[in-house]
Amino acid sequence: MAWEIVKIILQIFGGLGTFLVGMKILSENMTKLAHGRLRSMLDKTAKNRFAGVGIGTAMTIVGQSSAFTTVMVVGLVNAGIMTLFQATAIIMGANIGTTLNAWVIALAGSDITAVFLVLAAVGVFITMFSKSERLKSVGNVVAAFGLIFVGLKLMSSALTFEEGTDAFEMVSKILGTQLHPLLLLLIGIAITALVQSSTAVNAIIITMASLGLVIGGGGNAPLYIIIGSNIGTCVTALISSLGASTNAKRAALIHFLFNFFGAIIFTVVLVCWSGFSHTVLAGIFPDDITAFGKTGLGPTFQIATFHTLFNVVNALLFLPLINVFVWLAEHIIPEKKEKKAQGQRAEEIFGDLDDRLLRGPSVALGYVYQQTGKMFSYAMDTLDVSFNAFLAKDEGSAETVSEHNRNLSDANRKGISYLVKLSATSLVMEEEKTVSSLHYVFNDIMRIGELADNITKYTRHYVEDELIFSDEFLEMISAMYAKIKELYALSLAAFLYKDIPSLAKVDELEDEIDSDRRVLVDRHIKRLNEGRCQPQNSGVFINLVGNLERAADHITYIAHAIETLT
């Protein structure tokens, strides 16, 4: 008998493991197939709460997990990309999106399961023999659905016993024990927090219901576990927010408060209305309902219906109260005055590259892309300081330029480290090319900072050696630098908005700067020959003009990076 119990437990865990692996593969490949769409959806949230709910629903369907969406949202809030208002609407949508999984699981009890088991093999063959990356992802999605149903079938088989057997009597006695609603809630919370998936808990409860097993004394009992699972799923986001910014903690708290208040409302209703399951749910889906050739699927659809009802009703109730949730979170977690740590300036340049965003690689990559533009601007500011200091014969700006370059170096290390992490995620080919190209862009940005540092050295020679440059030279070099500034503005816009047609103008302006360098050098040589210029000026003159021209080259390279970026 003891060995029978061990076998049942092992088979249940084996089925649950297979189910979770299938869910993970499905999530990763759905995200791949949605390449770029998650990023574009998030850009549309604005202040429209209905758009936020819709986007949260869509993101959860793609990621196949409300935890996927909420952890992403915590990351976006932490990075300062998203407001708490936007985050709250998306979180509400995430809870609606996850209800689809319960319906898919409910179908597992029907004869359609056999179709999905065959699809597992079909998906594997598609993945093995397809050369197209997109088709491989499609094959993985198909195979993942198969694995999900294999896992559910294993759990179902483990709990299928003949009436009258010792195993049947034992399981019926354990599951049929009358339990207090609060205890059932805690069971739902604990199991969900342990496996980090409310969908897994739904799968277990729905599988038991499909076999006609009585849970917790029957009636509303299974519904309390479902409610508990909705609270338990908040644990993932709460853990994720540890060490994050104040607003990120608030976003995780709002997710908890949303589910917690919803749980209180529904628990009170179920306690007061003990016949809710029989009257309402069984009224919609009678116990003996037939679907896909199988009878008696009513209990599975009843639980799926309740899960949907819980999340949709809560969203409708709380959607008008988004600002109240934000206010509540802000008062529970007040703003703290954070001391600026050494090296924090790098974060100000590049932002907080949050590892939570790696759950949605296309979103994370889009964020890095935008922050790279900020790093480019910071490097150009550094060049501005350096060049203006030369014109003003200001040696004191050398320390400012050095500090800027230290900050650029820190930001560069952060950026490259994050790109390495991104490379380890499930990127599509175009995104892998983007990551590769951004490595080169970082290098070009660092070169601009180094050239700015070189110019501070020429400024020192300019002052200490008491060099004299003609007004003609200073006017021409200023005109050349004005073109470099114009080139930067064009290149930054081209980079940020991936405007390939504008590259022709970038190249035209870069050619003009090259021509200006040649003219400056030729005129300098002419002035030397005519005795109108000091020979000791040549070193500073030639190097200054050459460094500015090289800066223009690196600015142009950054613009042209869009030819390989997605």
Q: What is the pLDDT of residue 343?
A: 43
In this structure, what DSSP letter does residue 132 have? Answer: -
pLDDT at position 49 is 79
Report which of 266, 64, 105, 107 is spatially closest to residue 184, judged by C-alpha positions.
266
Residue 290's DSSP bridge partners are 295
| Interaxial angle between packed helices 361-392 and 471-497, expressed in degrees from 0 to 180 and rounded to the nearest 10 | 170
pTM: 0.73
Query: How would you write the pLDDT of the chain (566 residues) with one tens digit per residue?
Result: 566 667 777 877 888 788 778 877 777 777 666 665 666 666 665 567 788 888 888 878 777 677 778 887 888 787 777 788 888 888 898 889 888 888 877 776 555 566 667 777 888 888 888 877 778 888 888 888 778 777 777 777 776 655 555 555 666 666 656 788 999 999 999 988 888 788 888 888 888 887 777 777 778 888 999 999 999 988 888 887 887 778 888 999 999 999 999 999 999 999 999 889 888 988 888 876 665 555 556 788 888 899 999 999 999 999 999 999 999 999 999 887 654 444 445 556 666 677 777 877 877 888 888 889 999 999 999 999 999 999 998 888 899 999 999 999 998 998 899 999 988 887 777 788 888 999 999 999 999 999 999 999 988 888 887 777 778 888 889 999 999 999 999 999 999 888 888 899 999 999 999 998 888 888 777 766 666 666 666 778 888 889 999 999 999 999 999 887 64
Any bridge partners for residue 291, and if so which? 294
pLDDT, residue 344, reads: 45
**pLDDT score recorded for residue 172:** 61
At 98, which amino acid appears? T
Query: Which residues lie below 8 Å from residue 245, measured CB to CB, with a gap of 6+?
Result: 77, 78, 80, 352
Distance, in Å, from the CA atom of 222 to the CA atom of 276, rounded to the nearest integer, reads 12
Helix count (H) and strand count (E) of the chain? 25, 2
Single-letter code of the amino acid located at 79: A
- How many other C-beta atoms are found inside a 10 Å radius of the C-beta of residue 121? 12
Provide the CATH topology of domain 348-563.
Methane Monooxygenase Hydroxylase; Chain G, domain 1 (1.20.58)
Using alpha carbons only, what angle is made at residue 233 by residues 229 and 237, rounded to the nearest 5 degrees? 165
Beta bridge partners of 295: 290
Indicate the residue type of 535. Answer: P
Task: Give Cα separations from 476 to 485, 506, 516, 564 (angstroms).
Answer: 14, 20, 8, 35
SS3 sequence of 235-276: HHHHHHCCCCCHHHHHHHHHHHHHHHHHHHHHHHHHHHCCCH
Report the half-sphere exposure of 191 (CA within 13 A, side-chain side).
22
What is the per-residue pLDDT for 387? 94
Sign of CA dihedral 469, 474, 480, 485: positive
Evaluate the CA torsion angle 411, 39, 566, 424 in order and state its sign: positive
Q: CA 181 to CA 267: how far, in whole Å?
A: 8
SS3 content of the chain, % helix, strand, coil (to 5): 80, 0, 20
Three-point CA angle 142, 144, 147, nearest 5°: 120
The DSSP letter of residue 338 is: P
pLDDT of residue 21: 83
Question: Left if phi > 0, otherwise alpha if psi is -120 to 50, otherwise beta: which for 46?
Answer: left
Q: Which residues of 198-216 are buried (b: 16+ CB within 10 A; e: fewer)?
A: bbbbbbbbbbbbbbebbbb
Domain positions in the chain: 2-332, 348-563
Query: Beta-carbon neighbour count of residue 130 at 10 Å?
Result: 14
Name 294's bridge partners.
Answer: 291
* Nearest CA-CA partner of 361 in 566, 559, 563: 566
* DSSP letters for 422-439: HHTS---HHHHHHHHHHH
What is the crossing angle of helices 2-33 and 166-175, to 10°?
60
